[in-house]
Amino acid sequence: MSDDAWRWFVALDGGDLDGLGGGAGLLRFDWPSKRLVHRFYEGVSGGHNVSIAPGGRHLLLGNFSQQIVLIDAASLEILKRTTTMGIEECDYRFRANTHHLWFDDRNFLCAVGDHLYRFNLDNLDTPVKVGPHRLRTAHELRWTGDRRYILIGDMGPETSGARQVGVFDMQNPTNPSVIKLPGTVWHTCVHPTKNIGYAATYSIFAEDEDYVDWAPAYTREYIFEINLENAKVQRVWSSGAEVPIHLNSDLEFYSGPEGEHLYIAGGGGHRVFEVNLKDFATTRAVLVQPNWFQRFFSFRQRIHNVTGALLRRSIFTATHAILQTLAVTDGRLFDGVYCARVSPDGKYIIAGNRGYNYLRVMERRSLAEVYARRLPTLANGLHLGLHHSEIAPGEST
């Protein structure tokens, strides 16, 4: 096996069951040293995604608190922090810059309010407006290798009818395309050399247009392959509700000698899911969780999760929601794999189980375990709250 060095960065959202309502932090895991560091940040909440600058020195911590948070990749110290509220007002707590795209080491793009903006690190308070995205709640942004097309997920919520994705053409920034879909899509990824994108449904049901009292929906799921040049869906993958691909998070495109594959972090089913893109049908899945002994003694997190669920759903009036959640998680009281990336050399997959506070490195071809460990807990004994991740070559010094 290769020992090429790489760094895995994960956004942290704290110890609550619902990752949309917690704190904000970062974790870094270095390979092959297996060194791990993490920290949380005061004044920021809803840690969600991490974006690595091309040179690897800077990170942007995407969050739900309407803030730009620039971080040093080596020390994990905050370098700059400013609000986006002075750029466009926001009346909905989940309309926020959760995902970012770097042009170079000084300039990046993200969604603020109804538009995409280009920011420069030297003056974060006066970005340049690029154009409207025309989505309800723009979420994950991914662009093509030539940086012309951006595929954008729409977080919704479901009750807003936001079953759609956006395709933004940097050469035609005033007229983005919106593609209507049979399911809500939060997360996307894009082919590195072709103008093709992938969008996976995230099926939930919510009340009163918010994500406070929400639950997973036990229903069919989709992955759409989208031609970004004409903004049309060209292939569809779909599964029955029993397939463990619910509550997806990281989506990763990989191309190697054996073909092209899509890897999906399955937050509901505790699995990393692989789809063969040659036939857009064949799949593999690997369960990522600690051994039964470690799971059995996760009682503090288990009690906290049950309490968190009952804060949102009544056992007397929402039995159907509770049963759907248990169907999605195979009866577990924990959420599952929210971060999964392929190492730069293609040899490994690293995945993190949020609920069980656990990471595993696997040989990609066989999905066999290479290394695994439980992660540190917070001061109150609860998990760190692993969410989206990114990976970069080289080891931190």
Element (H, E) at 223: strand 221-227
Q: Give me the mean pLDDT over the 191-209 stretch.
A: 89
pLDDT of residue 209: 63
Asked whether residue 13 is assigned to any structural domain, the reply reads no
* DSSP-assigned letter for residue 376: P
Domain assignment present for residue 194? The answer is: yes
**Range scoring the smallest mean pLDDT among 12-26, 52-66, 74-88, 110-124:** 12-26
Q: Which residues contact 369 (CB under 8 A, 6 or more apart)?
A: 360, 361, 362
Distance CA 8, CA 389 (A): 7
Residue 77 resides in a domain:
no
- 314 band by pLDDT with thresholds 50, 70 and 90: confident
* pLDDT for res 208: 67
Report pLDDT digits (tens) over 61-105.
999 999 999 999 999 999 999 999 999 999 889 999 999 999 999
Distance of CA 118 to the CA centre of its chain: 22
Nearest Cα neighbor of 270 from 323, 348, 313, 216 is 216
Q: What average pLDDT does the structure give for the chain?
A: 94
pLDDT digits (tens, 9 = 90+) for 333-392: 999 999 999 999 999 999 999 999 999 999 999 999 999 999 999 999 999 999 999 999
Report the distance separating Cα 40 and Cα 248, nearest Å: 24
**Count of CB atoms within 10 A of residue 160's CB?**
15
CA–CA dist 116, 147 (Å, integer): 14
Q: How far apart are CA 51 and CA 40, in angstroms?
A: 17
C-alpha distances in Å from residue 54, one per residue of 71, 73, 102, 107, 376: 14, 12, 7, 10, 29
**pLDDT exceeds 90 at position 46:** yes
Given a cut of 90, whether residue 318 has pLDDT beyond it is: no
Conformation bin of residue 156: beta by default, left when phi > 0, alpha when psi is -120 to 50:
left
Q: One-letter amino acid identity for 85?
A: M
pLDDT higher at 167 or 19: 167
Tell me: pLDDT of 160 over 80: no
Residue 336 lies in a domain: yes
pTM: 0.96
Quote the number of domains for the chain: 1
| CATH number of the domain encompassing residue 151 | 2.130.10.10
Domain span at residue 101 reads 54-62+84-381
In a domain, 155, yes or no: yes
Q: DSSP string covering 151-203, please?
A: EEEE---GGGT--EEEEEETTSTT--EEEE-SS-EEEEEE-SSSSEEEEEE--
Q: Centre a 10 Å sphere on the Cβ of residue 175 and count the other Cβ atoms it contains.
A: 10
